[in-house]
Amino acid sequence: MTATPPAALSEAADDGPKPQGIEIVKQVTHLFLSNADRLRESQIGAFDELLVPLIGRTEAAALVHLSEALSTTSLAPSRTVRTLAFHNDPAVATPVLQNSDRLTESDLLEVAATLGQQHLLAIAGRRALNETLTDALLRRGDLSVSNALAKNAGAQFSECGYSTLVGRADRDESLTEKLGLRLDLPANLLRELLAKATDIVLARFLTASRPVAPVKGQASAVMTSPARSKKDYSTAMIRVAEFNRTAKLNDSAVNRFAVRSEYDCVVAALSLKTEVEIEAIAPLIESDRLYGLIVACKSARLDWSTTKSIIHHRPNCPPVSKRELEQAQAVFDGLLLSVAQWTIRFGADRIAAKKIGAEAASPAAAASLPRPATRN
Q: Is residue 35 part of a domain?
A: yes
Give per-residue burial for 113-145: e unless 16+ CB within 10 Å, then b. eebeeebbbbbbbbbebeeebbbbbbeebeebb
Over 60: is that where the pLDDT of 2 sits? no
- The answer as to whether 189 is a domain residue is no
The total number of residues shown for the chain amounts to 376
- The DSSP-derived string for 96-155 is HHHH-TTS-HHHHHHHHHHS-HHHHHHHHTSS-B-HHHHHHHHHH--HHHHHHHHH-TTB
Helix, strand, coil percentages for the chain (3-state, nearest 5): 65, 0, 35
**What is the distance between the alpha carbons of residues 217 and 167, in angstroms, rounded to a whole number?**
34
Query: Which range scores top for mean pLDDT: 38-47, 137-146, 359-368?
Result: 137-146
Tell me the mean pLDDT in the region 212-225.
Answer: 48
Q: Please indicate, yes or no, if residue 156 is contained in any of the structural domains.
A: no
**Where among 103, 124, 149 does a domain terminate?**
103
* Domains identified in the chain, total number: 2
- Among the candidates 83, 103, 123, a domain finishes at 103
Residue 229 has pLDDT above 80, yes or no: no
304 pLDDT higher than 90: yes
Tell me whether residue 122 is in a domain: no
86 vs 44, more confident? 86
pLDDT tens-place string over residues 174-208: 999 899 888 788 888 888 888 888 877 877 777 66
- In terms of average pLDDT, the best of 51-65, 224-238, 304-318 is 304-318
Q: Is the pTM of this model over 0.75?
A: no
Share of the chain above pLDDT 90, in %: 46
Whether 311 maps to a domain, the answer reads yes
Higher per-residue confidence, 325 vs 103 = 103
Residue 196 lies in a domain: no
* Residue 300 belongs to domain spanning: 234-368
In a domain, residue 99? The reply is yes
Q: Report d(CA 97, CA 234) in Å as an integer.
A: 55
Q: Could you say which of 103, 129, 163 is where a domain stops?
A: 103
**What pLDDT does 33 receive?**
67
Would you state the pLDDT for residue 354?
55
Decide if 341 is inside a domain: yes
Q: What percent of the chain has pLDDT over 70?
A: 79
